[in-house]
Amino acid sequence: MAKSIIGKLLAPTALALAAPTAGLWLGLAAPAARASVRTPGRLVVHINVRRMARPISRYEYGMFIENLGQLVHVSLWSQLLDDRKFFNPILARSTEPPRHAHGPFPGMQARRWHPLGPARFVTLDTHAPFVGAHSPQVALSAAAPRGIEQSGLDVVRGKRYTGYIYLRATPGAKVSVALLWGRGAQARATVTFPYVPPHFTRLPFHFTAGASDRDATFRVTGTGRGVFTVGAVSLMPADNIDGFRPGPIRLLRSEHFGFMRFPGGNFISDFNWYHSVGNPNTRPPFFDHAWNTVKSNDVGLDEFMTLCRLINTRPYITVNAGFGDAHAAAREVEYMNGSVLTRYGAMRARDGHPAPYDVKLWNIGNEPYGQWELGRTNVKYYVLKNNEFARAMRRVDPSITLLASGDMPDEMIIEGVAHSLHMKDSQVRICSKGDFTCALLKHSWGYFDGITEHWYARAGMRFDLARAERNIRLPHLEAGYVPAHRTLLQWVRAPSDRVHLKAEEWHAYQRQFPQMVRKKIFMSIDEYAYTGAPANLKLAMAYAMVFNEMLRHTDFLRMSAFTMGVSTLDFTRTRAILNTTGHLFRLYTRHMGPGLIPVALTGNSPQPLPKHHLFGDFPHTEAGSATYPLDMVAAVSPHHRYLSLAVVNATLSPQRFALHVAGGALGGRATLWRMSGPNARAADTLGHKPQVLVKQYELSHVGRRITVAPISIDIYHISLTRRR
CA torsion sign for 288, 291, 294, 296 is negative
pLDDT at 37: 57
Nearest Cα neighbor of 302 from 274, 342, 324 is 274
Quickly state the pLDDT bin for 619 (edges 50, 70, 90): confident
* Distance separating alpha carbons of residues 80 and 177, to the nearest angstrom: 15
Indicate the burial class of 533 (C-beta count within 10 angstroms; 0-12, 13-18, 19 or more): middle
Quick count: other Cβ atoms within 10 Å of Cβ 600? 18
Judged by DSSP in three states, 247 sits in helix
DSSP E strand stretches across 242-335: 259-262, 286-288, 293-295, 314-319
Parallel/antiparallel/unpaired status of strands 693-699 and 293-295: unpaired
pLDDT at 25: 38
Average pLDDT rounded to a whole number, residues 184-206: 95
Enter the DSSP assignment of 248. H
Nearest Cα neighbor of 718 from 45, 72, 3 is 45
Quickly state the pLDDT bin for 102 (edges 50, 70, 90): very low
Judged by DSSP in three states, 437 sits in helix
698 conformational bin, left if phi > 0, alpha if psi -120 to 50, beta if neither: beta
pLDDT at 13: 27
pLDDT at 432: 87
Quickly state the pLDDT bin for 617 (edges 50, 70, 90): low
* pLDDT tens, residue by residue, 495-524: 999 999 999 999 999 999 999 999 999 999
For residue 342, the Cα-to-chain-centroid distance in whole angstroms is: 33
* pLDDT tens, residue by residue, 646-672: 999 999 999 999 999 999 888 878 999
Average pLDDT rounded to a whole number, residues 260-289: 95
For residue 122, the Cα-to-chain-centroid distance in whole angstroms is: 40
* Distance separating alpha carbons of residues 547 and 539, to the nearest angstrom: 12
Q: What domains can you pick out in the chain, each with its CATH number?
A: 2-55+599-722 (2.60.40.1180), 79-237 (2.60.120.260)
Average pLDDT rounded to a whole number, residues 57-61: 96
| Residue 393 confidence (pLDDT) above 60 | yes
What per-residue string of b and e applies to 200-232 under the rule 16 or more CB within 10 Å gives b? bbebebebebbeebeebbbbbbbbbeebbbbbb
Average pLDDT along the chain: 89
Average pLDDT rounded to a whole number, residues 63-85: 93
Percent of the chain predicted with pLDDT > 90: 76
276 conformational bin, left if phi > 0, alpha if psi -120 to 50, beta if neither: alpha
| Residue 584 confidence (pLDDT) above 90 | yes
Please report which helix (H) or strand (E) contains residue 504, including its range.
helix 488-512
Quick count: other Cβ atoms within 10 Å of Cβ 76? 25
254-268, 457-471, 553-567: least confidently modelled range: 457-471
With contact defined as beta carbons under 8 Å apart, do 116 and 149 qualify? yes
Average pLDDT rounded to a whole number, residues 368-377: 90
What per-residue string of b and e applies to 30-67 under the rule 16 or more CB within 10 Å gives b? ebeebeeeeeeeebebbbbbeebbbbbbbbbbbbbbbb
Q: Where are the alpha helices (DSSP H) in 375-487?
A: 379-396, 409-414, 417-420, 436-443, 465-470, 476-480
22-36, 444-458, 551-565: least confidently modelled range: 22-36
Number of H helices, E strands in the chain: 16, 33
Please report which helix (H) or strand (E) contains residue 73, including its range.
helix 71-75
* Distance separating alpha carbons of residues 461 and 456, to the nearest angstrom: 11
Parallel/antiparallel/unpaired status of strands 631-636 and 642-649: antiparallel
* pLDDT tens, residue by residue, 399-431: 999 999 999 998 888 888 877 777 777 778 888
